[in-house]
């Protein structure tokens, strides 16, 4: 599952792909730079911050963020979000926000540094910064064995 998400990301990317690892193994054979989050258990915001630190080190001006447990997000969704305009660009599926999310450097300092939310809280607080773009695919994530079985049966 992680590999599928990384494949879609890598195919859509026109720049360096950084994968922030929480508590997962990585396949170092891919053209991806892995960065480890030793504080993964403290919430998703810590992984986002580790990824942003890596982006700063590469002098990136934009990141596109997604989760590895969402294999239904297509390469086209990654590309659509990456090409979007605005400080925050978020994929929408049937009108509902999901991943991936594009974040310009101007909003990085506004993002949470702790807790289990990434950009979602900032999008709620500052809706004027957000542009939604319709995407194909599915934002459903796989958190349980039942979720995995459902995904495998489709």
Which residues fall within 8 angstroms of residue 96, CB to CB, at 6 or more apart?
139
Query: What's residue 7's pLDDT?
Result: 52
Query: What's residue 137's pLDDT?
Result: 87
DSSP for 19-77, written as a single string: EEESS----TTSS-EEEE-TTGGG-HHHHHHHHHHHHHHTT-SEEEE--TT-TTB-HHH
Domains recognised in the chain with CATH numbers: 2-153 (3.90.550.10)
pLDDT exceeds cutoff 70 at 21: no
Higher pLDDT, 20 or 59: 59
Give the CA distances from residue 42 to residues 37, 58, 117, in Å, rounded to whole numbers and listed in that order.
10, 25, 11
Which pTM was predicted?
0.77
Q: What is the pLDDT of residues 50-84, one digit of tens each?
A: 999 999 998 999 999 988 888 888 899 999 999 99
Query: What's residue 110's pLDDT?
Result: 97
Q: What is the DSSP letter of 111?
A: S
Of 55, 138, 142, nearest to 152 by C-alpha is: 142
Higher pLDDT, 137 or 32: 137
Q: What is the pLDDT of residues 92-142, one digit of tens each?
A: 999 999 999 999 999 999 999 999 888 999 999 999 999 999 998 888 888
């Amino acid at each position: 599952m992680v590999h599928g998400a990384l494949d879609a990301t890598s195919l859509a990317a026109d720049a360096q792909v950084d994968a922030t690892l929480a508590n997962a193994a990585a396949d170092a054979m891919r053209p991806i730079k892995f960065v480890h989050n030793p504080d993964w258990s403290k919430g998703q915001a810590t992984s986002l911050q580790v990824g942003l630190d890596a982006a700063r080190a590469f002098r990136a001006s934009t990141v596109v963020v997604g989760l590895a447990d969402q294999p239904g997000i297509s390469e086209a969704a990654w590309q659509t979000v990456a090409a979007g305009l605005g400080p925050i660009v978020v994929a929408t599926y049937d009108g509902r926000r999901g991943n991936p999310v594009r974040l310009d450097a101007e909003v990085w300092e506004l993002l949470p540094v702790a807790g289990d939310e990434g950009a979602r809280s900032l999008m709620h607080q500052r809706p004027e910064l957000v542009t939604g773009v319709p995407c194909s695919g599915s934002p459903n994530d796989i958190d349980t064995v039942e979720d995995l079985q459902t995904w495998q049966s489709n």
